[in-house]
Structure 1
Amino acid sequence: MRLSAYGRTGRRASRSAGRAIQTSSHVPPSQKETIEYLRAAVLGSDPGITENVKWKAPSFLRGGEDRVTFQLRAKKGVQLIFHRGAKVKDDRADFRFSDESGLLGWISSDRATVIFQDLDDVKANEEAFVTLVRSWVNT
């Protein structure tokens, strides 16, 4: 079953992350397909990305460090948090990232969110999103 043009959930996908989505009372049924599609896109964006569960939601790691995590309690749409690990880094004031996609909404100098309204929104921005994830996890 192909979920995204960039990949499908597979060996690097966490079964517990999939269960976190399916069993979460915070995820409307209409958003579950969008979240699964995004999971596949993130996993397919870089061969070094793996998945686990953080904050009771799917989280994606590169080099053993959490970098992108779903926020399953978002009030509107599907939200992903782009961060640089569990703790704020000492170099956060000097951190620079060029978001050519325009998808990031900055929370702080080194944390941001991406919000998609629905699956159509994801598909319309998929290529830019995958490029963004690939760049983010490699910074």
Structure 2
Amino acid sequence: MGTQAARDDVETFLATLAHAQDAAIRLLRTTILATDPRIGESIKWNAPSFHVEGRHFATMQLRRPDRMMLVLHLGAGKQAMPAGAIADPRQLLAWLGADRAAWTFAGVDDVEAQRTALQALVRQWMAHA
């Protein structure tokens, strides 16, 4: 699927989502996309998902109205993140397994306050996806 078609799919999805965290979801999305021009997006698991060269590395989880989660993962094949590969001195990530971690955001202010750290972690994660 072409980049513009995928972006249109994500826009359509977000327009019909009616999520209480809409503004935060959109800010999180634009922050991730602004991290690296190679990042593409699509809908996966009923939420915006991000990929580089066809390999998905991050997917939003939008199940709760009061917050949203960004799950960083290593794709469909089970593999472990190499020990020490992700520098997270502020311990912003909650590790869910050797191949995935999550970051929960409470709203627009939370995403805005963490933008620089988020982009740094996304860049690191992309190097292993």
Q: In the TM superposition, what is the alpha-carbon distance from 1:101 to its structure 2 partner?
A: 4.3
SS state at 2:33 partner? helix
- Structure 2 gaps of 5+ residues are none
Q: 2:77 aligns with which of 84, 87, 96?
A: 87
Do 1:68 and 1:80's aligned partners in 2 also have CA atoms closer than 8 Å? yes
On the 8 A contact 1:116/1:122 being kept in 2, the answer is: yes
- Amino acid of the structure 2 residue aligned with 1:124: A
Matched, 1:119 2:108: yes
> Which one of 26, 29, 39 corresponds to residue 36 of structure 1?
26
Aligned residues: 124
Unaligned 5+ segments in structure 1 are: 1-9
Deviation, 1:12, is 8.9
When the two structures are superposed, what TM-score results if normalisation uses the length of structure 2?
0.85
C-alpha deviation, 1:114, in angstroms:
0.6
Matches within 5 A, 1:12-91: 14-24=7-17, 27-28=19-20, 31-74=21-64, 76-89=66-79
TM-score for both structures, normalised by structure 1: 0.79
The residue type equivalent to 1:95 in the other structure is P
Partners of 1:83 and 1:24 in 2: CA distance: 23
Superposition deviation, residue 13 in structure 1: 6.4
Q: Which has the higher helix share?
A: 2
Share of identical aligned residues, percent? 35
For 2:112 and 2:6, the matched residues in 1 are separated by 20
Q: Deviations over 1:86-113 (max 9, x none)?
A: 2322xx2x62333234211110012011
For 2:99, the aligned partner's letter is: D
Displaced runs of 4 or more, over 6 A: none
